[in-house]
A and B are shown apart, each in its own frame.
Chain A
Amino acid sequence: MTTVTATVLLGTTCLGAAAGLVGTWAVLRRRALTGDLISHAALPGLCAAFWLSGERNYAWMMCGAMVSGLLSVLLVTFLSRQARIHHDAALGIVLSVFFALGIVFLSFIQRSASLGDKSAGLLNFSLGQAANLGSSDVLWIGGVGLAALAIILVCYKEFTAFSFDPEYARALGLPILRLDLLMMGCLAAVAVVGIKGVGVLLSPALLIIPAATARFWTERLAVMLILAALFGAAAGGLGTLLTAGDWHAPADWPWLARFERLPTGPVIVLAAAFGFGLSILIAPQRGLLGQQWRQFSLRQRIARENLLRALFELQENQPATANTYLSEEALMATRAWRPVDLRRLLRAAVARRDLEPTGQGFRFSAQGWQNAVNITRAHRLWELYLISGANIAQDHVDRDADGVEHLLPPELLDELEADLRVAGRWPADAAPLPHSPHELSVTLSGLGSAPRAGEPPSRDSQLPAEAVASRGEQ
């Protein structure tokens, strides 16, 4: 790897890390597009500084860019408070008008006799030229990055309070306006030093994407800051390495050679976007796949529990509790099942050893019996609670409880039972669980049941198995 590449690599990595750090606050405060605003609005300041100073003095140009960037932020705040306009429209107006002003300045500079020839590099503002980052640029990036890091470390507590709850921060007596300016100043400084590397148009990408990516992986601010910095640095490094061809022999990785002609800035952004896309899919808590999986398993569990309760209630009032043979046909009437789903659920229940297939139908296993008792107990406790605690009519509680029963934690159920006992509303004959407070829509009354030895607790069974079989044929 040549020194040039190493310099560029250092610059883009530092830039990515710094952008991730300061971008985190902007993303958390729902001000992500402020980075976009600042980097567009930096243009007139950049050009004006160049025009006034008459030379390509980097420091002056950065200061000019900072000033006009911050001015644009203040202007947007002022407009959205005073001018009967929404924040986003104010942002769009200031962004585009400042940018237009910058282009007007730029055309003056380009066509001015004394400045025109010095302005060559100024034209690459839109996409930047990462490959041309020199050691002084890297020093600037590093300096600004370190300064931003120092400010974040010193003001960490204040920034945190301010970002999550500005009203609370105000009540604490924190200097809101100065904190806001400081935060925006950090953002502006990083956006401005990033312009040379990735350009006006893509500098906001580095501020937003790593921070938005980090948000997928953690719920803790400190971790998010570190992750955002890492993701930003990784994107910067990856983009640079992909587009710099001089660190590997082309023969080793022919596919890498394809990237060499590509502009570095956009590739850095695409690397960051790739990380974002990956995170949105696979992040454990907030990722889409994880969410889908959790929703899927919740739906599965709810369906399973519904099946168990339906089975339980079907044969509850039978003399032979828990030993009835249960058929699909009887189950169909209890809920709006689709036959396909019901058959699938029954198969799954058998596979989980909640049910045991018999020749004519199904019956509970010991474990399935316990599960069914638990879920029915949750349902009825909630129903009783709604009736006694919330004064809801008996015939209205079934649906409410149907939605909630799957989510009630066991401690809450025990508490409910204790409360009901204290209030004297626990039915005397409730063992192991109270009877339904309302009429069950479908019961197996008149249907058959068969004896089964041992667990679960069984009573006598009177009806012969043929009754069940004949039921199955109906």
Chain B
Amino acid sequence: MNGFSLLFQDAWQWWIFVVAALTCVACGTLGSFLVLRRMSLMGDAISHAVLPGLVLAFVFTGSLHGGVMLAGAFVAGLITTWLIQTLERSGTVAADAGMGVVFTSLFALGVVLIAIFTQGKVDLDVDCVLQGSLSTITIQTVSILGWDIPRAAVTLGGALLANLAFIILFWKELQVSSFDAGFAAALGLRPNVLHYLLMAMTAMTAVAAFEAVGSILVIAMLIVPGATAQLLTDRLKVLVPAAGLIGLLTAFCGVKLSLTPPFNQAEPAALAAVCAGGIYALTVLFAPHYGIAVRWWERSAQALRILCEDLLAMFYRIEELAPSKRIGTGEALQALGGGWLAWMAVWSLRRRNQINFTEGGWQLTTTGRQSAKHLIRSHRLWESWLVRYLGLPPDHVHAPAERMEHFIGGQLAEQLRAEVGELQQDPHGKAIPQ
């Protein structure tokens, strides 16, 4: 066994993977611009609406050759884009309704054209356009330099190269017009021409991918990698390659899954789309900055820290007033407003050895008292500063200080100390700890 057979068992499996990967990468890189430009559904609309273009190209030339189909798709994509834009600009139809009308009508037209021209002898099958068939795609091969290469791999490789060339050639234009179409127009970059070009490229990519993944799943390949990458980065230069990589991962997972029982009964393209959804779902939850679970975790950690600090400060204040007083668990929890976070706060202070349970209640330990002192110092310095420099009345400064105390670091505290001068007491007459 060599490295070639490590991931997939034979050439057939490899070719399925290669075709899937070419599809996903070609769609993912181009699709990230669709997502960025808020035109995701144009991908949906166009991949449906190119059907009549394909049928007419077939009818006029009588061939199912890739080039003819791509040309048909190109023209149909342009016409669809024009129709949708014209409807939107006419101001008589809402944008989404106009899009819905155009693509469903064109799709219906395509189905009817197929029924008229093929008369049952279907070579151009609707179901084939809709679902594609990744597993049988390797049957038709062409011979290049003595290698038998699946025809779809050649078509999709071409589509990928065309997309990459388009993105690299028009990088600047795409970048500017995606973020600020008005500025692009002012620079003379013709954002509208670029819009049509992008749509035509989308149509061609969609058609190249039909054979492999079908017209509905291609939307998943177009949109999902870009949307996933958008959760992971804020830089366009990273986003596009990342979308390509995610496409690659999607293809790998989908094909690998389709070779694993019990999933080997299912179509690899559908599995790849489901994998894309799975990867997206994981990213939505766990993306470093924007993940929902990650944000929830960060918020909870912050809330916990604040609760812990509030609790420490409370113990310190009570100790100031009545050194021998002990606070029971119930009282402590109640003071924090209850809830599971309050439990966590008490538990984590105990674990960090900042409070301990003695003589029927909780009491600060030496380390706890030290941290509490820092907090109280920040709190009272901030109160003094507010009174001195903002002229707030003393009875208005506690609440803001209660919020600020958690975010005043050592350096800021020193600066405050210097600015309030030799003050020993806060506006309420309490000593400011040193």
Contacts and interface: CB of A to CB of B under 8 A. Distances in A.
A286 B98 CA distance: 14
A67 interface: no
Interface stretch (B140-148, B268-276, B307-315): B268-276
A208 B265 contact: no
B197 interface: no
A85 B108 contact: no
Interface stretch (B13-21, B200-208, B213-221, B415-423): B213-221
A33 B40 contact: no
Contact of A89 (B90, B105, B217, B227): B227
Interface centre among A31, A85, A211 (most CB of B within 10 A): A85
A461 interface: no
B266 interface: yes
A261 B116 CA distance: 8
Contacts, number: 202
B426 interface: no
A183 interface: no
Interface stretch (B53-61, B125-133, B350-358): B125-133
A201 interface: yes
Contact of B100 (A83, A103, A205): A205
Interface stretch (B41-49, B163-171, B336-344, B377-385): B41-49
Interface stretch (A262-270, A407-415, A447-455): A262-270
A102 B107 CA distance: 21
B324 to A, nearest CB: 50
B97 A32 contact: yes
Interface string B5-32: 0000000000000000000000000000
Interface residues of B, number: 62
Contact of B127 (A79, A95, A101, A126): A126
Contacts of B41: 33, 88, 91-92
B369 to A, nearest CB: 42
B38 interface: yes
B92 A261 contact: no
Contact of A269 (B108, B115, B226): B108
A283 to B, nearest CB: 8
A88 B38 contact: yes
A212 B98 contact: yes
Given A88-B41, A107-B265, A96 B273 contact: yes
B280 interface: yes
A126 to B, nearest CB: 5
B42 to A, nearest CB: 9
A269 B108 CA distance: 6
Interface string A50-92: 0000000000000000000000000000010011111011011
A36 interface: yes
A119 to B, nearest CB: 13
A63 B96 CA distance: 28
B335 interface: no
B277 interface: yes
A108 B265 contact: yes
Given A89-B223, A126-B130, A263-B112, A99 B104 contact: no
Contacts of B274: 97, 100-101, 104
B277 A276 contact: no
Contact of A201 (B43, B107, B224, B227): B107
Nearest to B102: A273
A100 B270 contact: yes
Interface in B262-313: 262-263, 265-267, 269-274, 276-277, 280, 284, 290, 292
B105 A205 contact: yes
Contacts of A30: 94-97
Contacts of B219: 92, 95-96
Contact of A93 (B111, B126, B280): B280
Contact of A101 (B119, B223, B277): B277
Contacts of A270: 105, 108-109, 112
B119 to A, nearest CB: 7
Given A104-B271, A280-B92, A86 B108 contact: no
Interface string A186-219: 0000000000000001101100110110011000
B233 to A, nearest CB: 12
Contacts of A86: 35, 38, 40
B126 A127 contact: yes
A41 to B, nearest CB: 11
B50 interface: no
A202 B96 contact: no
B267 A273 contact: no
B346 interface: no
A276 B104 CA distance: 12
B273 A27 contact: no
A24 B267 CA distance: 37
Nearest to B283: A83
B40 A204 contact: no
Q: Which 6 A-B pairs have the closest CB atoms?
A: A97-B277, A100-B273, A205-B104, A96-B220, A273-B105, A269-B108
Given A85-B230, A104-B270, A280-B92, 5 more contacts: A101-B274, A209-B100, A209-B101, A276-B101, A280-B87
14 contacts: A30-B95, A40-B216, A96-B217, A97-B276, A104-B274, A201-B48, A201-B104, A201-B107, A201-B216, A208-B97, A212-B93, A215-B93, A269-B108, A273-B109
Interface of B: 35, 38-41, 43-44, 48, 87, 90, 92-101, 104-105, 107-109, 111-112, 115-116, 119, 126-127, 130-131, 216-217, 219-220, 222-224, 226-227, 230-231, 262-263, 265-267, 269-274, 276-277, 280, 284, 290, 292
